[in-house]
Amino acid sequence: MGKEKVAIIGSGNWGSAIARLAGQNVAKHPDVFDQRVPIWVFEEEFKGKKLTEIINTTHVNEKYLPGIQLPENIVAVPDLVEAIKGATALVFVMPHQFLGRIIEQLEGKIEKGVKAVSLIKGVDVKGSEIHIFADVLEEKLGISCSALSGANIASEVATDRFSETTIGYRKKEEGELWKKLFETHNFRVDLIDDVAGVSLCGALKNIVAVAAGFIDGLQYGNNSKAAVMRIGLIEMKNFCQEFFENVKMETFLEESAGVADLITSCLGGRNRKCAEAFVTQKKPFDVLEKEMLNGQKLQGIHTAKEVYTFLQARNRAGAYKLFDKVYKISWEGMPVEQLTEGL
């Protein structure tokens, strides 16, 4: 058997942090991995230079992860098809909005037997259909796709703070491979046979983080915040068990991807912060997105809308009371004080 050739697709904050670990680990396991790890970088100018050139000369992604040295075997490549050429193990790590275009470029160019892992947050909703991105990748590209998610603020992982993550796998040996690629002394990887659960946690927790931010804005205190987080965790689990097959309850209640990531997101995180500002500053979310996120989308409220649309289409609106409230407060002008009514 030849060595695994890793390629990383996406080079934002999280992509760069995870590339750093992957670069270190392929060097540690030269028997398993090819030593060169291409990372596809959406080419842009930063301070008058091309971002790929900056990365390949300074070994720092100065735009998205400044101050953090990347291993020299991480090679920035501006052309997507070139970046993945010959790769046997693909890491997808980018905002889900870009996935459609990436898949178009990759269709027909990926060989049989290639494995992938999705670090993409979110869900793909079309009417009464809902899909995780690992399934989208499997279907469109014919590859076997795992998922990685956990309590992983990129800046903390990048500075080797103790943290944990969860990989949901289809085949145990694929899970083991991804673990070998990502695990370090201070970045512990747990494996579980649940791609859907791991993926969905990463999307749905953002809705709960918005609710937690509302509670912070209302200054209701820690009892209320803990109650909303508990209810949110149960709704996450119930939602996944209702609409996806073979989802494991442990993923939500025991894994880093579940309870721990929920905690991190409700303690810090942009969803919590913007939702708090929504209450205290009384500005609509589109204004807050511009002011606080440089115009980036606030994931939690958009996921809340997608989930609401989906539940409507399935005639299940109202069965998930907290998700429902977050949608109605964010998008339909429901007074935020009604958040805890009837939960």
Annotated binding site for substrate: 121, 270-271
Q: How many residues bind a second copy (CB under 8 A)?
A: 36
Closest CA to 229 of 288, 284, 269, 188: 269
- Minimum distance between the CB of residue 82 and a second copy, rounded to whole angstroms? 34
- Exactly one of 85, 131, 188, 316 binds a second copy (CB under 8 A); that residue is 188
Is 226 one of the binding residues for a second copy (CB under 8 A)?
yes
Q: How far apart are CA 141 and CA 186, in angstroms?
A: 33
CB of 187 to a second copy, least distance (A): 9
Q: Where do the H-state alpha helices sit in the chain? A: 13-28, 51-58, 80-84, 99-106, 133-141, 154-158, 172-182, 195-218, 222-243, 249-253, 261-267, 270-280, 285-293, 299-313, 321-331
The residue within the footprint of a second copy, chosen from 1, 223, 332, 333 (CB under 8 A), is 223
Which of 24, 56, 184, 186: binder of a second copy (CB under 8 A)? 186
Instruction: Choose the stretch contacting a second copy; rule: CB under 8 A; options: 86-94, 99-107, 137-145, 253-261.
Output: 253-261
Q: Binding of a second copy at residue 261 (CB under 8 A)?
A: yes
> What are the CA-CA distances from residue 170 to residues 9, 112, 134, 183, 273 (Å)?
21, 16, 10, 19, 35
321 binding a second copy? (CB under 8 A): no
Does residue 260 belong to the site contacting a second copy (CB under 8 A)? yes
**Closest among 21, 279, 14 to 149, alpha carbons compared:** 14
Is 253 one of the binding residues for a second copy (CB under 8 A)? yes
Selected binder of a second copy within 102, 120, 153, 211 (CB under 8 A):
153
Our finding on whether 312 is near a second copy (CB under 8 A) is no
Contact residue for a second copy among 27, 32, 263, 313 (CB under 8 A): 263
Q: Closest separation between CB of residue 205 and a second copy, Å?
A: 11
Annotated binding site: 10-15, 42, 98, 121, 154, 270-271, 297, 299
Helix (H, G, I), strand (E, B) or coil at 250: helix
E strand spans, 23-102: 37-40, 45-46, 49-50, 74-77, 89-92
Could you tell me which of 9, 1, 2 has the C-alpha nearest to residue 109?
9
Q: Is 205 a catalytic residue?
A: yes
Burial class of residue 219 (count of CB atoms within 10 Å of its CB; 0-12, 13-18, 19+): exposed
Shortest separation between residue 145's beta carbon and a second copy, angstroms: 25
Cβ-based neighbours of 340, under 8 Å, separated by 6 or more: 220, 224, 227, 228
Interface residue list for a second copy (CB under 8 A)? 151-153, 156-157, 161-164, 186, 188, 220-227, 229-230, 233-234, 253-256, 259-261, 263-264, 267-268, 340, 343
Q: Which residues are catalytic?
A: 205
